[in-house]
């Protein structure tokens, strides 16, 4: 079986995982439970599970590509995102004493390894010069907007923990419209990446991100409604005015 067909199967798995994610919440953060066996320090868990994505995509790309060309720009965008998620983000989050199940870290590690490989592999086939300027510019603008929304929303959440340890209702920027603007930003970001690079690897990553983060944002939204009586009624879960 060739790699394109394997990538289609990988996309199909994401679609199968989607309804499962709607029923079973990934047991970390707000949805932590002790039922999922042994766990490790939350910050270490984040670095461990994201590291394969940071490394596998560029390593695959540089191993396979015969001549470095302008599509290296996509690798730089990838590294920028994953350097933040793997190194900077875990150092900044205020989750001292919190744990994450090894089962979650292991499954995310596997996912990031496969996803990093597919993206690195298909980026070697992308001919930068032949991409339509419209896709390139539109995709890059969407990617940058998503990146900004994701990081600025994560920043608001991180700052909430400077004065107290628990959970409070986040406010400001897109939090005035949705419970999970960080997830909204992440989805927008990989939508932009898929538009720019137009390949099965980036498309599969977009599908996986949607199938992981839409159910998690619905679970977060319900958690806020159940835990805060004064939770803003007009706020949606992840897409302003829509979902």
Please report, as ranges, the residues that interact with ligand NAP according to CB under 6 A.
29-30, 93, 95, 98, 150, 154, 157, 160-161, 167-168, 170, 182-183, 186, 209, 212-213, 216
- At its nearest, how many Å lie between ligand NAP and the CB of residue 57? 13
Nearer Cβ to ligand NAP, position 37 or 97? 97
Closest CB to ligand NAP: residue number? 29
Nearer Cβ to ligand NAP, position 39 or 182? 182
CA 122 centroid distance within chain:
19
Nearer Cβ to ligand NAP, position 65 or 103? 103
- At its nearest, how many Å lie between ligand NAP and the CB of residue 232? 13
- At its nearest, how many Å lie between ligand NAP and the CB of residue 104? 10
Residue 139 φ/ψ region, left for φ over 0, alpha for ψ in the -120 to 50 degree band, beta for the rest: alpha
| Cα 64 from Cα 224, distance rounded (Å) | 46
- At its nearest, how many Å lie between ligand NAP and the CB of residue 60? 18
- At its nearest, how many Å lie between ligand NAP and the CB of residue 156? 9
- At its nearest, how many Å lie between ligand NAP and the CB of residue 47? 12
Nearer Cβ to ligand NAP, position 38 or 133? 38
| Cα 158 from Cα 81, distance rounded (Å) | 18
What burial class does residue 152 get, using C-beta atoms within 10 Å of its C-beta: 0-12 exposed, 13-18 middle, 19+ buried? Answer: middle
- Specify whether the CB–CB gap between 67 and 128 falls below 8 A: no
Q: Report which of 123, 112, 135, 145 is spatially closest to residue 201, judged by C-alpha positions.
A: 123
Nearer Cβ to ligand NAP, position 30 or 173? 30
Nearer Cβ to ligand NAP, position 78 or 183? 183
């Amino acid at each position: 079986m060739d790699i394109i067909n394997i990538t289609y199967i990988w996309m199909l798995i994401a679609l199968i995982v989607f309804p499962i994610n709607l029923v079973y919440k990934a047991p970390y953060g707000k949805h932590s439970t002790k039922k999922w066996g042994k766990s490790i320090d939350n910050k270490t868990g984040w670095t461990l599970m994201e590291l394969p994505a940071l490394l596998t995509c560029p390593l695959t790309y540089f191993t396979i590509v015969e001549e470095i060309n302008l599509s290296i720009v996509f690798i730089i965008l990838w590294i920028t995102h994953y350097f933040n998620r793997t190194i900077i983000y875990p150092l900044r989050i205020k989750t001292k004493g919190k744990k994450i199940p090894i089962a979650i870290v292991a499954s995310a590690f596997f996912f990031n390894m496969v996803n990093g490989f597919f993206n690195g592999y298909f980026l070697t086939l992308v001919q930068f010069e032949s991409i339509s300027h419209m896709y390139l510019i539109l995709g890059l603008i969407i990617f940058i907007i998503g990146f900004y929304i994701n990081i600025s929303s994560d920043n608001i959440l991180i700052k909430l923990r400077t004065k107290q340890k628990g959970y409070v209702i986040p406010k400001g920027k897109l939090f005035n419209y949705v419970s999970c603007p960080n997830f909204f930003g992440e989805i927008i970001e990989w939508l932009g990446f898929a538009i720019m690079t137009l390949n099965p690897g980036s498309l599969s990553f977009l599908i996986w991100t949607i199938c992981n983060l839409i159910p998690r944002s619905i679970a977060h939204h319900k958690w806020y409604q159940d835990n805060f009586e004064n939770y803003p009624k007009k706020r949606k879960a992840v897409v302003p005015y829509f979902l």
